[in-house]
Chain A
Amino acid sequence: MFSVRFTICLLIALLFPFVLKVFKHVEIYPSLILPAGQNTLSISKKQMSYQYKQIYVTDIHNRRIKINHADFFAPIPIQFSSFILKRNFGLKFTKSSSPVDEAKKTELKHWIDKRIIAQSGPYKELFIVTLKNTISSVDGKLMESKIINEEPIYLN
Chain B
Amino acid sequence: MKNLSTLINELNTKFWTRVNDSVSLPLESLCCFRIILGFYLLLIQLKTYSWIRYIPDLLYSPPKMSIARFFHSFPDYWLFLAIDMGILIAVLCIIFGIKARLASLLFGVLNIVGCSFNYSFGKIDHDILLYVLLICMSLSNWGTLLAFYPDKKLKGADRSLLLLSVLICFGMFTAGLPKARTWINLDMSSSGFLSWYFRGLSESGRSDLLMPYVLDFPPLLIKSFDFIAVLFELSAFFMLMAGRKFWKLWLLGVVTFHLLNCLLLNIPFVVNFLVYLAFIDFSGLYQRINNYIRQPYVKIILSSVVFLLVLIRLFFILTGNKNNNLLIDTEWDLNFAVLLWVVSIILFIKNIFQNPLSRMETTHTVNATSGRG
Give residues 110-143 of B contacting A (CB, 8 Å).
112, 115-116, 119, 121-126, 128-129, 131-132
Given contacts A27-B63, A30-B115, A89-B59, contact A41 B190 (CB under 8 A): yes
Question: In the complex the two chains form, is B182's CB within 8 Å of A82's CB?
Answer: no
Tally of chain A residues near chain B (CB < 8 A): 62
B: residues with CB less than 8 A from A are 8-9, 12-13, 15-17, 20, 51, 55-61, 63-68, 73, 112, 115-116, 119, 121-126, 128-129, 131-132, 159, 162-163, 166-167, 170-172, 174-179, 181-183, 188-192, 194-199, 201-205, 212, 214-216, 219, 320-322
Of chain A, the residue at the smallest CB distance from B55 is A76
Could you give 16 example pairs across A and B, Cβ below 8 Å?
A: A2-B159, A4-B9, A18-B174, A30-B112, A36-B174, A36-B179, A37-B196, A38-B182, A43-B188, A50-B201, A75-B320, A76-B55, A80-B122, A81-B203, A89-B58, A138-B215
Q: Is the interface of A mostly helix, strand, loop or mixed?
A: mixed
Q: Which residues of chain B come closer than 8 Å to A105, judged between CB atoms?
A: 58
A19 vs chain B, min Cβ distance (A): 10
Question: In the complex the two chains form, is A43's CB within 8 Å of B204's CB?
Answer: no
A57 vs chain B, min Cβ distance (A): 18
Q: Which residues of chain B come closer than 8 Å to A36, judged between CB atoms?
A: 174-179
Question: In the complex the two chains form, is B58's CB within 8 Å of A26's CB?
Answer: no
Question: In the complex the two chains form, is A39's CB within 8 Å of B182's CB?
Answer: yes
Q: Which residues of chain B come closer than 8 Å to A78, judged between CB atoms?
A: 203-204
Complex alpha-carbon distance, A10 and B168, angstroms:
13
Q: Which residues of chain B come closer than 8 Å to A1, judged between CB atoms?
A: 12-13, 16-17, 20, 159
Question: In the complex the two chains form, is B59's CB within 8 Å of A79's CB?
Answer: no
